[in-house]
Amino acid sequence: MSPNLESIAGTWPMIKLALHRDKIIIPVFILFLVLLILGTAASIINLYSDALVLQAFYLQMQTNPSITAILGSVLDPSTGGLTAWRTGISGPLIIGLISIFRMVRHTRSEERKGRLELLDSTAVGRQASLTSALFTSFGVNIIITLLIALGLIVLGLEFTSSIVLSLGIGAFGCLFTAITAVTVQLTESSSDARYLSVGLLVLFFVLRIIGWDNGNLKCLSWLSPLGWVHQIRAFAGNDWWVLGIFMIFILGLTITAYWLSSKRDVGSGIINQRAGPARASKCLNSSLALVWRLHRGMLIFWVVVFALMGMVMGFTAQTVTDAISANHQFLQLISQVSNGGPADSYFALVLALFGEVFAVYAILAVSRLRTEESKKYSEMLLTNSVSRSQWMVSNLIFAVLGSALIMVVFALTLGLAYGSSSGNFSQDLLRILASALVYLPAVWMLTGITVFLFGIIPRLASLSWVALGLFVVIDLLGEFFDVSQWILNLSPFTQVPKLFAGDTLTASLGWLFILAVALIVVGLWGFRRRDIIG
């Protein structure tokens, strides 16, 4: 059921409004992703211009199952092939997240604010908001695709394959645009729609890992669009037809979204939100209880997702180590760099990757403070008997303890799953737990940065995301370039001892912790002295 002309009347002004509201965030998103991918390509080209070095690196990556499990296998021993491999997971994940957040923001969030209600009643057709959101989101994805293709070609990679690689990433973004167009029709609240879409993204990631290329469940990766991106085989034969699968799903989901949208009322979802209780439960009587009520959904979501992730990663670990043990050459290689067993390199990699993911939670949990302030929810508490410090601390508790809880749950399921297959429970579990916990000060650093910004320069509180982006880029660069140590040291994640790679505990970890606490204290102090602003 395609929209008729009347139902999309007013789309153009809405597009203009959306672009105006996002005039900063869209270029930032585009720039971040494009630079990340082109930066990776440039560093690979820079580092492996020598064919022999390239070949050696390829063999090393290809034979290292811990890497192929998470990042997929390298399909072609060329700079292009390595670029496709290195960006094959992170590129789609990031463009997917961008698409989800933009779609939710421009459909449901708007509707919740009642702005749509206002627009709909005048000259704006009922499909206008969906159409404008789809249009801008597809547009952003197309621009990203073009820029990446152009960049890769300019960097000197092969023409057709560069296009195929960027099309794969762009198609993934469009797919999640379409998926979110459907989820926003299903749920009544914007946060539910976000959970649903992000949940699917996580599921696809998990399926991709279970169906990793050297495993025996390889076919499972065909259930995941992340697997499709891999199967496009950019720089390794270019299987164009896989793009057809994307097209079919994008089209089908878009049509479904329009059909659902025409069936529901503005402001409600297909799955209707039930009415709630007329009285609050006995426990809802303090600022802390309220934060728990508002926050628990997100916390439970993260705990469940990472418990699952830990399990998947733990079970994969066994097959990975088996594969490593069978490869004598590689076994020798890693015994030179780390003094642990074959599983150690795998765990070191997993923890390094996930440390930064947990930092996302650490930021999310405290950025609530700024959201609640600017949406004026906090005013209802702060003009009641809740003090400013009390309100801030009750949110902080969740950021600090919540990230620790997620970390512990992840490490436990990782260790238990691995232990259950290796048979060496107690020892492995404790080691994994310890190596994971040392990441906490780095994760809390981001809580600290966010709280500091909130207390001192609230309007710029979202800069903490820029900080995290910067740390991720620094760590990625460190992987490929000979970056000078002082730049690497800027990232708190550099300071974390990689216990599985043979590092020992250092004083810098203590300093990191102290710095995080100091930032939080300054933020608390600043908030007590400043105006509450919208």
Contact residues toward other proteins (CB under 8 A) are 112, 114, 188-189, 191, 267, 273, 275-280, 284-287, 290, 293-294, 375-377, 379-388, 529-532
Q: Which residue lies nearer to other proteins by CB, 285 or 339?
A: 285
Give dist(CA 504, CA 338) in Å, integer: 12
- Give the sign of the dihedral formed by CA 43, CA 45, CA 47, CA 53: positive
* CB closer to other proteins, 276 vs 423: 276
Provide φ and ψ at 363, rounded to 5°: -80, -50
Q: Is 184:256 a contact under the CB 8 Å cutoff?
A: no
Nearest distance, CB of residue 456 and other proteins, angstroms: 15
Instruction: Enter the tokens of residue 313.
Output: 């990663």
Q: How far apart (Å, rounded) are the C-alpha atoms in residues 274 and 276?
A: 6
DSSP output for 236-268: TT--THHHHHHHHHHHHHHHHHHHHHHHS-TT-
Give 515 or 532: the residue with its C-beta nearer to other proteins.
532
Q: Given the complex with other proteins, which of 18 and 381 has the nearer CB atom?
A: 381
Q: Which is nearer to other proteins, 27 or 267 (CB)?
A: 267
In the bound state with other proteins, the residue whose beta carbon lies nearer, of 120 and 239, is 120
Tokens of 510: 């203590």
CA 189 to chain centre: 21
d(CA 523, CA 454): 7
Q: Are the beta carbons of 445 and 492 closer than 8 angstroms?
A: yes
- When the beta carbons of 290 and 311 are compared against other proteins, the nearer one is 290
Q: Based on the number of CB atoms within 10 Å of its own CB, is 382 exposed (0-12), middle (13-18) or buried (19 or more)? A: middle
Name residue 366's amino acid.
V
| Nearest residue to 24 (alpha-carbon basis) of 345, 462, 367 | 462
Cβ-based nearer residue to other proteins, 143 or 382: 382
Cβ-contact 356, 471 below 8 angstroms:
yes
The string over 459-469, giving b where at least 16 C-beta atoms fall within 10 Å of a residue's C-beta and e elsewhere, is: eebeebbebbe
> Which amino acid belongs to residue 364?
L
Instruction: Give 16 or 375: the residue with its C-beta nearer to other proteins.
Output: 375
Tokens matching residue 423? 């048979």
Terminal Cα-to-Cα distance of the chain (whole angstroms) = 42
Token pair 């579990």 is found at 429
Nearest distance from C-beta of residue 389 to other proteins, angstroms: 10
**Tokens at 79, concatenated:** 């700079």
Min. distance of Cβ 369 from other proteins in angstroms? 14
Cβ-based nearer residue to other proteins, 114 or 156: 114
- Residue-wise DSSP of 36-104: HHHHHHHHHHHHT-SHHHHHHHHHHHHT-HHHHHHH----SSSHHHHHHHHHTTHHHHHHHHHHHHHHH
Report the alpha-carbon distance of residue 41 to residue 30 in Å, rounded.
17
Cα–Cα separations (whole angstroms), residue 453 to 312, 519, 523: 36, 9, 7
Cα three-residue angle 164-253-103, rounded to 5 degrees = 85
**Cβ closest to other proteins, residue 223 vs residue 266:** 266
CB of 383 to other proteins, least distance (A): 4
Shortest Å distance, C-beta 281 to other proteins? 8
CA 366 to chain centre: 17
**107 or 491, CB closer to other proteins?**
107
Q: Is 491 helix (H, G, I), strand (E, B) or coil?
A: coil
Instruction: Output 188 or 475, the one with its CB closest to other proteins.
Output: 188
* Cα(316)–Cα(365) distance, integer angstroms: 30
